[in-house]
Amino acid sequence: MRILDLLSLIKRNMLVFCTIVFGVFVLIIIYANFIVQPTYSSVIQYNAIDNVQQTSSYKNYVDDSSFQDDVRQNMVDQHYIDASSMNNLKTISVNVTPGNQVFSITAEATTPLLARQYATTLNTLFQKKFGRAFPNHHITKINGPSNPVSATSPDMKLYIIYGLLGGLIISIVIVLFKELYGKYIYSPFFTTKVLGVHQIGIIEYPKNSGSNKSKE
């Protein structure tokens, strides 16, 4: 099918085409606004004091899944969050700079309040367990937990493009199917000449078929 034929087909089915494009676009925008959750982050800064070269070890300790699981469970124990809602607690990440004694830990969650509570719990547990994990090391908290800031949010420009492209593709497919169905599948030519069907359940046999010969 040529481009001009496709444009002509769309023009003849403009109402259907526009309705589908608009419908898909609206659905994707609703998805972006109400289903894709933004996240917020709260940061705590520490000073490694006399153990500048060990900040990578601290990062590995905090990145360990067992420590992060303890933080999440502590959030539940303090009734900051229900166990069924733990997926609202997002990432815990550590930012270290080689040779710099200052490092930071960031906690992300789906609401500003939850992000701050997450960071507070993280700090309490980290300071409590740090002495046992690194008995000869010393750190001090120098800042935080900071006021939560937006960490990630839906890229609405991207979702608008997805909505328009998705609507165009789906509408073109449906319009083409509608045209082909009406032209080839449901047409009298296709049913009578190709399939040999005059009415549902009645088959037209070829004229020379033995079934049409009268018995002698």
Confidence (pLDDT) at 182: 63
Nearest residue to 109 (alpha-carbon basis) of 142, 140, 68, 141: 68
Beta bridge partners of residue 92, listed in sequence order: 107
- Name residue, tokens 């607690």: 89
Assess whether pLDDT exceeds 80 at residue 5.
Answer: no
Say if CB 122 and CB 41 are below 8 A apart: no
Average model confidence (pLDDT) for the chain? 80
Q: Which structure tokens are listed for 214? A: 């009268």
Better pLDDT: 88 or 181: 88
**pLDDT tier, 200 (very low <50, low <70, confident <90, very high otherwise):** very low
d(CA 139, CA 105): 13
- E strands along 37-131, which residues? 39-47, 89-95, 102-109
Q: Give the pLDDT mean for 60-76.
A: 94
Band (pLDDT 50/70/90 cuts) for residue 192 is: low
Pairing mode of beta strands 39-47, 102-109:
antiparallel
Q: How confident is the model at residue 154 (pLDDT cuts 50, 70, 90)?
A: low
* Domain 39-152 classification at class level: alpha beta
Q: Encode pLDDT of 160-182 as tens digits.
A: 888 888 888 888 888 888 777 66
Statement: residue 106 has pLDDT above 90: yes
Q: What's residue 42's pLDDT? A: 95
Domain ranges of the chain: 3-34+155-211, 39-152
Judged by average pLDDT, the poorest of 106-110, 126-130, 138-142, 202-206 is 202-206
| pLDDT single digits (tens) 113-127 | 999 999 999 999 998
E strand segments, 81-154: 89-95, 102-109, 140-143, 149-152
216 pLDDT band (50/70/90 cuts)?
very low
Q: Per-residue pLDDT averaged across 71-75, rounded?
A: 95
pLDDT for position 161: 85
**Residue 203: pLDDT band with limits 50, 70, 90:** very low
> Which of the four pLDDT bands, split at 50, 70 and 90, describes residue 2?
low
Say if residues 77 and 124 touch (Cβ distance below 8 Å).
no
Band of the pLDDT at 158, cuts 50, 70, 90? confident
